Amino acid sequence: MFKVGFISVLLRSFTLGSKFLLLFVMARALSPEDVGVYGLITTSIGLSLYVLGMDFYVFNTREILSDKKNNKSKFIRDQFVFHFLMYIVVLPLLIFMFIFKIIPLDYIIVFYLLLIFEHLSQEFYRLFITFSRPLLANILLFIRSGIWILIVCFLWVFHYHLTLTTIFILWLIGAVTSVFVSVIVLKKTGVLKNVFEPINWDWIRKGFFVSLPFFISTIIFNLMQYIDRYILQIYHGEKVVGVYTFYMSIANAVQVFIFTGIFSILSPKAIKQYQASQVKEYRETMRKMTFTAIVSLVFLVIFILLGIKPLLNLIGKETYIQSQSLIWILLIAVSFNTISQTFHYSLYVRGMDRQIFLSTMISFTVALIANLMLVPNYSFYGAAISLMLAMISLFSTKMYFSIKSWKYFMV
């Protein structure tokens, strides 16, 4: 496990490193307004991914892990039938983002293509995590989110005139490649051998209703994290969104790193142990997950705080330098969110979906009210404080429900 975890973390480190390079190159080569447009497009794609997925993977993950009749291929096939139906419903509705000028019309084609292939790639990634193949999952993630960024950096180093369109096209190539490789791997493993059998519509219907509470909770959770960008755009414009996106991308790398290197590896193990009534082993896994997450969090926060000033000096743009105190607030927010994940998995494995949903709703309400109150007068500082308050609320409520239901769940 250590070897796989180490290589997975290493691959994710390369991916995150590539994203840092992209952030640096965009901050140097593009205007803050362009960075703001990039932030709005990536945010809109990110939120739309959850709508297309409907968190159906949550239901299917449990089905696959508990399967004793070798129905995995049918589960996978029927999951993607469900996603195809969601495409038919959701994709036409997204045109309103262009009608209301949330995203510039120039990017409509690349937006839709990116959304589809990013979603497919994301679902394949989750499947490989479910099959306890985190190394393969992270290799594919690097193809999807890392290699093309290195090409962007290469072009910039050799003085190619970078534009947002160039960046999005290269991103699309990475996503398409990731999907293509995923299909080949699944086909070779024999997982797709029963794809032409009759579709189990009852199973899909069951999955929809089981996943619906998770989806509502997930979309509210992500709105809690991303609604600040839209409110910032309304009150302060794309330049301010660009500055906020820059710092949020740096801070968010902490939780992405910890999720990939720790939670994505240990959480399937914890779920299996709990389902098998292996209480002692489950508690040990939870302790390991919590301890390694906290240690990693401390290390990464210190690393970012030490590196932010040299990074800003290299970028050399006063717009970003004047706002560097923003990183402190965002790191506090991300830290509370990261640690809350240990309590989240404690609730998840015991099927306490209602408590997860209630925690998310409370935190979303805090984020929405705080953003509406603070952003108009305090710009991105108001957005960062709103996010911090929401994450503290999320951490507190999930910890409360976890300890209340099983006081010594990690002992």
- 217 occurs within a structural domain: yes
DSSP 354-367: HHHHHHHHHHHHHH
- 339 occurs within a structural domain: yes
Contact 232, 383 (CB under 8 A): yes
**pLDDT tens figures, 170-220:** 999 999 999 999 999 888 876 666 667 788 899 999 999 988 877 887 888
DSSP 50-99: HHHHTTHHHHHHHHHHT--SS-HHHHHHHHHHHHHHHHHHHHHHTTHHHH
Q: Percent of the chain scored above 70 by pLDDT? A: 94
106's CB contacts (< 8 A; 6+ apart) are 165
- 409 occurs within a structural domain: no
- 411 occurs within a structural domain: no
- 410 occurs within a structural domain: no
Tell me how crowded residue 195 is: count the other CB atoms within 10 A of its CB.
16
- 365 occurs within a structural domain: yes
Contact 255, 391 (CB under 8 A): no
Domain that holds residue 278: 2-404
**pLDDT tens figures, 222-265:** 888 889 998 998 899 888 999 999 999 899 888 887 887 788 77
pLDDT at site 377: 93
- 155 occurs within a structural domain: yes
Rounded distance, CA 251 to CA 260, Å?
Answer: 15
Nearest to 110 by CA among 170, 153, 191: 170
User: Is residue 409 pLDDT above 60, yes or no?
Assistant: no
* Number of domains into which the chain is organized: 1
- 312 occurs within a structural domain: yes
